[in-house]
Amino acid sequence: MAITASLVKELRDRTGSGMMECKKALVETNGDIDAAIENMRKSGQAKAAKKAGRIAAEGIIVIKFSDDGKQAAMVEVNCETDFVAKDENFTSFANAVAERALDGSAASVEE
């Protein structure tokens, strides 16, 4: 079966995966979208298993104090590389987590 652009688009819409990954999955399954989704799911699990053993040894620790100085929150957010740890988005995220912990709106650590 010929792999058309509309078939690739449909698979992308259903999975949110990249165009080339979708095309590859469709080629492997001879254009069967459901089989392609299943193969992509299994492939994703394999990729996740490979990454599970990696250590996130980089990161930052953020400490926030309340205005009256009576409360404080300290959070550690880890990542795999120092490049990410120094990224503005990463530091903004870590600061937002510390602010949320300090404002008391989180009832538990999981929140």
| pLDDT tens profile 7-28 | 999 988 988 888 888 898 899 9
Q: Residue 65: enclosing H or E segment and its boundaries?
A: strand 58-65
> 65 φ, ψ to 5°?
-120, 145
Contacts of residue 90, Cβ cutoff 8 Å, sequence gap at least 6: 60, 77, 79, 84
9 shares its domain with 47:
yes
Please report which residue ranges of 1-111 form alpha helices under DSSP H. 5-15, 19-28, 33-52, 82-85, 88-103
> Helices in 16-79 by DSSP H: which ranges?
19-28, 33-52
The reported pLDDT for the residue numbered 65 is 95
Number of domains in the chain: 2
Same domain assignment for residues 96 and 76? yes
10 lies in a domain?
yes
Is residue 78 located within the same domain as residue 64?
yes
Q: Give domain status of residue 35, yes or no.
A: yes
Judged against a pLDDT cut of 70, whether residue 111 lies above it is answered with no
Tell me the C-alpha to C-alpha distance, in Å, between residue 105 and each of 64, 68, 72, 102, 111. Answer: 15, 18, 14, 8, 9
Whether 50 shows a pLDDT value over 90: the answer reads no
Q: Same domain, yes or no, for 47 and 24?
A: yes
Question: What pLDDT score does 109 carry?
Answer: 64
Structural domain contains residue 109:
no
pLDDT in tens, 60-81: 999 999 999 989 999 999 998 9
My answer on whether 43 and 63 are in the same domain is: no
pLDDT of residue 56 exceeding 90, the answer is no
CATH code assigned at 41: 1.10.8.10
Tell me, what's the pLDDT at 107? Answer: 64
**More reliable by pLDDT, 8 or 111:** 8
Asked whether residue 46 falls in the same domain as residue 19, the answer is yes
Give the whole-angstrom CA distance, residue 42 versus residue 78: 27
In a domain, 111, yes or no: no
Can you give the residue range of the structural domain that contains 39? Answer: 5-52
32 falls within a domain: yes
32 near 7, Cβ under 8 Å?
no
When pLDDT is cut at 50, 70 and 90, the band that residue 104 belongs to is confident
**Is the same domain home to 48 and 77?**
no
Enter the tokens of residue 105.
Answer: 């709106």
pTM listed for this prediction: 0.53
